[in-house]
Amino acid sequence: MQHGRHKWSALILTALAAAVVLTTGAQFRQMHRDEVIVPGPGVTQTRMLSDYFPALAGTTGDTEVYILDGEEPGATAFVLGGTHPNEPSGLMAAVILVERAQVKAGRLIVVPRGNRSGFTHNDPQEGSPQYFRLTASDGSARTFRFGSRATNPLDQWPDPDTYINPSGQKLSGSENRNLNRAYPGRPDGTHTERVAYAIMELIREENADVSVDLHEASPEYPVIHAIVAHEGAEDLAAMTVMDLDMEDIRMRLEKSPPTFYGLSHREWGDYSDTMAVLMETANPSQGRLRGRTDEALVLTGQDALYVRAAELGRLYVPYDDEGHPLEERVGRHLSSLAALFRNMEFVGDGEPFVIEEVPSFDEVMANGVGYYLNPAPARD
C-alpha cells in the first residue's frame, strides 16, 4: 500500500515537472521569436544590420534595417528604436514609421529593434509582462514583446565588476550589456559592443545627416520629455522644440554632456558626421516608484503611486489619474520626429526631407497606436 502511494506520488510529480518544462520551453521559444513587422508601401528595401558588420550574422545581434527611399533626392535620416526593450514607445514609433510612412524627398532608415537580444528576456525580479497587445487597423491582434533594458545574459556573460566602455569610461559591471553605454562599439568586443559598432557602421556607410535614438524614462528621472542633442545638432533640436511648443507639445532641449561617453547622443556625433539626438518620453512601467507592473500599466500608464508621488513633488513631469498612456508617448515621439524632419533643410547641407503619412500627436491620441498598424499575416 505504502509502495503504491509512493509510486503515484512520483508519477504526479513527474507529470508536473514535465508540464513545467514544456510550458517554460514554449515561453522560451516564443520570446526568441521576433514579433511581426509588416512593412508598408513606403519601404523600398529591407536589409540586415549584419550587412554593415558581417560578424553579427546568425546572432541575436542581427536585426532588420528598413529603408524608405523618396521619389526626390534629399537628406538621409536614421531612426533607432528598441535600444532598451522595456521602453515600448520607441519600438512602436519606429514600427509605425515602417508600416505607414512614405518619404517623398530624401531617405529614411529605421531599425525598430536596436538591441534584439534584449527582447528575448525580462529584467529579473521586476515582475514585468512579457508582451503587450494592440488592435490593428482591421481589428486583428498585434502582439509585441516587453523586454529588458539589457542584452540577454545567454548572449553575454558574466558581467565584470567594472565595465570600461570603448571610450575608457568606468561604469557598473552590469552596464556592459547596456547598448546605450557601448558606443562607438568594438568590432572585436562583447556582443553588445559589436551591435553598437554595427550601428555606427550603418550611420557612417549610409551618410546619415541626422540620427535619432528613441527612448523612455521613468517619471522621476530629471531628463524626460526632452530632446538631448549633440552640439552638432543643437540648432536642429532648438528649432524642433520651438515647433513643438507651438503645437502645445512640451519637449525640453538638453545639451549632450561632453563626458557622457558611450551614449548615442554623444558618440554618434563624435564618431561620424551625423547630427545626433536622443528623445525621451515618460514611461511609468520602468520607474522605481510604480505599483503593479503588468500589461495594463504598459498600455495605460496609470498608477496611483505615481499620482501620490506627483502630489509630493517627486516627479519631473505632470502626473494625474490619466497617467501617461502608450498613445501619448508614441504620439510625442512621432510629432517630435515630424518637426525635426521639417527643419532638416535649414541646417547642414540644406537638403530637404519630406515625409508623409506620419500620424500627429492628436491623431494618435484620438485613434490609438494600433490604428496605425497593418494587419498581421498568419503565422505557422
Where residue 376 falls among pLDDT bands split at 50, 70, 90? confident
- Report the pLDDT value the prediction gives residue 10, as an integer from 0 to 100: 58
C-alpha cell at 291: 505599483
- What local confidence, expressed as pLDDT, does residue 24 receive? 47
Q: Which residues contact 224 (CB under 8 A, 6 or more apart)?
A: 217, 218, 280, 281, 282, 316, 317
- Strand 131-135 and strand 252-255: the pairing is unpaired
List of residues 6+ apart from 313 with CB closer than 8 A: none
Give the CATH class of 35-372: alpha beta
pLDDT digits (tens, 9 = 90+) for 296-321: 999 999 999 999 999 999 999 999 99
The three cell numbers of residue 157 are: 556573460
Query: Is-contact 83 264, C-beta < 8 A?
Result: yes
pTM for the model stands at 0.92
Joined together, the cell numbers standing for residue 196 give 553598437
Cα–Cα distance measured from residue 378 to residue 136, given in angstroms and rounded to the nearest whole number: 14
Cell numbers placing 278:
536622443
Instruction: Decide if pLDDT at 215 tops 90.
Output: yes
Task: For residue 104, give the H/E element and its range.
Answer: strand 102-111
3-state secondary structure of 211: strand
Coil, strand or helix at 209:
coil
- d(C-alpha 66, C-alpha 42), whole Å: 10
Angle at 200 between CA 198 and CA 347, to 5 degrees: 150
| 15 membership: H or E segment, kind and range | helix 2-31
> Closest Cα to residue 99, out of 130, 58, 144?
144
Which residues touch 354 (CB under 8 Å, ≥6 apart)?
A: 70, 72, 74, 103, 104, 105, 106, 341
Instruction: Tell me the chain's radius of gyration from C-alpha atoms.
Output: 22
pLDDT at 26: 44
Residue 125 φ/ψ region, left for φ over 0, alpha for ψ in the -120 to 50 degree band, beta for the rest: left
| Residue 21 binned pLDDT confidence (cut-offs 50, 70, 90) | very low
pLDDT for position 34: 82
**What are 111-167's pLDDT values in tens digits?**
999 999 999 999 988 889 999 999 998 999 999 999 999 999 999 999 999 999 999
What is the rounded distance in angstroms from the CA atom of residue 371 to the CA atom of residue 137?
Answer: 5
Q: Which of these, 307, 285, 281, lies nearest to 295 by C-alpha position? A: 285
pLDDT of residue 153: 97
Residue 80, phi then psi, degrees to nearest 5:
-115, 120
Partners of 163 in beta bridges:
171
DSSP 187-198: TTS-HHHHHHHH
What is the rounded distance in angstroms from the CA atom of residue 130 to the CA atom of residue 355? 33
3-state class (DSSP) for residue 125: coil
pLDDT range class, residue 17, cuts 50, 70, 90: low
Q: What's the whole-number average pLDDT of the chain?
A: 93
Residue among 96, 160, 154, 90 nearest 120 (CA): 154
Ranges of each domain in the chain: 1-31, 35-372
Mean pLDDT of 10-33: 54
Among 218, 253, 258, smallest CA distance to 237 is for 253
The predicted structure's pLDDT at residue 245: 97
pLDDT of residue 8: 65
Q: What percent of the chain has pLDDT over 90?
A: 87
Q: Give the mean model confidence (pLDDT) for residues 31-60.
A: 92
Adjacent-strand bridge partners of 62: none
| 149 within 8 A of 119, measured Cβ to Cβ | no
